Structure 1
């Protein structure tokens, strides 16, 4: 049995965003609780959307939402209260009707703390999953030479 491999490519569309670890994000060991790294990914997605004109609000204005259907997170080193980290968010191009982002979180010395990926799909105002790329997203991809 053969499976068809999806044609995805990493793009040069990236955003670098800085976060400061807050006290409430740490656990009893004094390190960032593992679940907060997904929050940092979201901070990166929001920064990406603002910079590249494809924010959650832009998507909602077009009659869609883009829920996450898959996320992964690989922890390498811990962050601690007060650390300033850099979240690098990269758009991964795919012909499918979804949005893929890859993340790398770096500590203040440039070491990789965490890597991950999220996949989002498009759902219209009637809660219907879009099986084709919505027109506004196709226009965004055209504008960014991604087709």
Structure 2
């Protein structure tokens, strides 16, 4: 299973009045993690979009455990939790600069045609992506 790692320095603009990272910013960091994971597998999401394929979020979940603050560095870990040839579930852990769990989460995506928003089969239309997702997804026994 491939786990992508990204470091993000918490910027002042990402914090709220309490001085901690505003909760919606973690969703942006998850997107950064997904993009990096796809790149680490040898692909480019922007190229997929240029071909008229989008990957909207069907569901997203985040559990907040420990706050991150301005000046800290977050580590975003991203992996493929589940994949069935059509839907992809990404898993996330966002860690504090001391390695403590700040946020855990997941997001479910499906690829669709941009013009019709009809789902496509990654397995059929993008066999190279399919193979990479199969190879790098979390094992059932884990």
Q: TM-score normalized by structure 2?
A: 0.85
| CA RMSD across the alignment | 2.0
Name 1:92's counterpart in structure 2: 81
Moved more, 29-38 or 117-126: 117-126
Which structure 1 residue ranges, 4+ long, deviate > 6 Å from structure 2? Answer: none
Confirm or deny: 8 A CA contact 1:48 1:55 kept in the other structure.
Answer: no
Confirm or deny: 8 A CA contact 2:52 2:115 kept in the other structure.
Answer: no
2: CA distance between counterparts of 1:56 and 1:118? 16
Runs of at least 5 residues in structure 2 that lack an aligned partner in the other structure: 138-142
Cα offset for 1:124? 0.8
Q: Say yes or no: does 1:42 pair with 2:31.
A: yes
Name 1:76's counterpart in structure 2: 65
Residue from 120, 124, 128 that aligns with 2:117? 128
Name 1:117's counterpart in structure 2: 106
2: CA distance between counterparts of 1:27 and 1:59? 35
For the pair shown, which has the larger CA radius of gyration, 1 or 2?
1
